[in-house]
Chain A
């Protein structure tokens, strides 16, 4: 059974700091991995999608990496801003089906 874990559960950093969010999964048989952002009480906004054959994806100040063999992904946020404050969720798409399994998220607070 695939399990997705995100560490840390919560993080508070000063503005301008570079930071790394971690995601681990127990079964390497994944089709893709996606990072999302969620503001309180709102839907999810897609940040980056990494296919299983890829190692990383970049968008602006965000960089996501994927290491299937070790069951890990990281989301790197450069030069954090107060507007980055949100919950960040990672989700794995499973092979052999169409399920997506989410982690519980990391709540990020960037202090001005």
Chain B
């Protein structure tokens, strides 16, 4: 049974560009949450998707958007990239309110 997978592993973009990150949840999980982790800090909650809807959102601007597909996989989109968006982006899957399982993350560098 594959765990949570994320792609790509690393990504380099320039300011103003747009990026799409992808996540496939662990088998049997229907909930996907996205987090941003800056160097030396704990992950910050971006939003959570359930039944293809954004169920809750953290304190992130509208430049951050997402989508969940019928197979429960998810995408995180970030528009108009800023230098401060450079971080490790983590995806976690779960059944609602149960243990969250994290993927390996996508390292985004904005130049």
Interface residues of A (CB under 8 A from B): 4, 31-32, 34, 36, 41-46, 49, 89, 91, 93, 97-105
Contact = CB atoms under 8 A, between A and B. Distances in A.
Interface string B72-111: 0000000000000000101010001111111111010000
B75 to A, nearest CB: 18
B105 A97 contact: no
Interface of B: 4, 6, 33, 35, 40-45, 48, 50, 55-56, 58, 88, 90, 92, 96-105, 107
Contact of A43 (B44, B58, B90): B90
Contacts of B102: 36, 43-46
Contacts of B58: 99
B99 A99 contact: no
A89 B88 CA distance: 15
B101 A46 contact: yes
B11 to A, nearest CB: 14
A102 B101 contact: no
Contacts of A89: 42-43
Given A101-B45, A102-B43, A46 B100 contact: yes
